[in-house]
Every structure is written in C-alpha cells, then in structure tokens.
C-alpha cells in the first residue's frame, strides 16, 4: 500500500506538470518538480527510522545536491539554442550524471 501511495503521488506531480506546461505561464512547470514531494517522504523516512544525525546528514547532502541540478540547467540552457531538443536533454542529463558522480565521490571521501 505504501508503494502505491508513492506511485500515485508521482503520477499526480506529472499530471500537474503537464497541466501547468499548457497554461499561459508554462515557465511554472519548472517550479512544480522542485516542490519537495519526495524530499518530504525521504526526510520523514530517514527522520523516523534513523538517528537525528543521519537526518541532518541527509539534509546537508540534499543542499549540495543542487549542484548537479544547476549543471543540468546550465548545460540545457546553452544547448537548446545549438542542437535539437532531444540531444540537448541528453547532454544536460549527462552533465547531471557527471556532476552527481563527482558529488558522491567527493562526499564519500570526506
């Protein structure tokens, strides 16, 4: 039942994004995925099942995990003017993967 609820929340977010993308303010579709739906779930699970120090570490890591997101956005912003959209999305996703891998590598080393 727990997994079904999470899947329904994810589906609801996708529907909201689609509706907002068709609205007179499509730029708001970039804000909807940033609503902390899954962050709320993960913080609740970690906070209720682990020590407070683990929750605080999760929060700190969440803050620095914005760097891969920024890498994705910057690369996509540059590429959409230069290549077709699918290729721009692939390039931005690769930038996210690289930034995330570097983040995890350096986070675990510290």
User: Using one digit for the tens of pLDDT, what is the confidence trace for 1-40?
Assistant: 778 988 888 898 899 999 999 999 999 988 888 888 889 9
Rounded CA gap, 104 and 100, in Å? 6
| Position with higher pLDDT, 2 vs 73 | 73
CB neighbour list of residue 20: distance below 8 Å, 6 or more residues apart: 26, 28, 29, 32
With bands split at pLDDT 50, 70 and 90, how would you rate the model's confidence at 110? low
Label residues 48-66 b or e (16+ Cβ within 10 Å = b).
eeeeeeebeebeeeeeeee
Residue 5 has a pLDDT of 86
C-alpha 8: how far from chain center: 18
């Amino acid at each position: 039942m727990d997994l079904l609820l999470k899947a329904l929340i994810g589906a609801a977010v996708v529907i909201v994004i689609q509706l907002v993308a068709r609205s007179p303010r499509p730029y708001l579709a970039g804000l909807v995925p940033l609503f902390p739906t899954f962050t709320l779930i993960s913080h609740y699970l970690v906070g209720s099942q682990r020590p407070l120090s683990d929750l605080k570490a999760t929060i700190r890591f969440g803050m620095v995990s914005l760097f891969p997101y920024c890498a994705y956005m910057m690369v996509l912003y540059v590429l959409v003017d230069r290549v077709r959209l699918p290729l721009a999305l692939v390039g931005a996703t690769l930038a996210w993967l690289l930034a995330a891998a570097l983040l995890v590598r350096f986070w675990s080393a510290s």
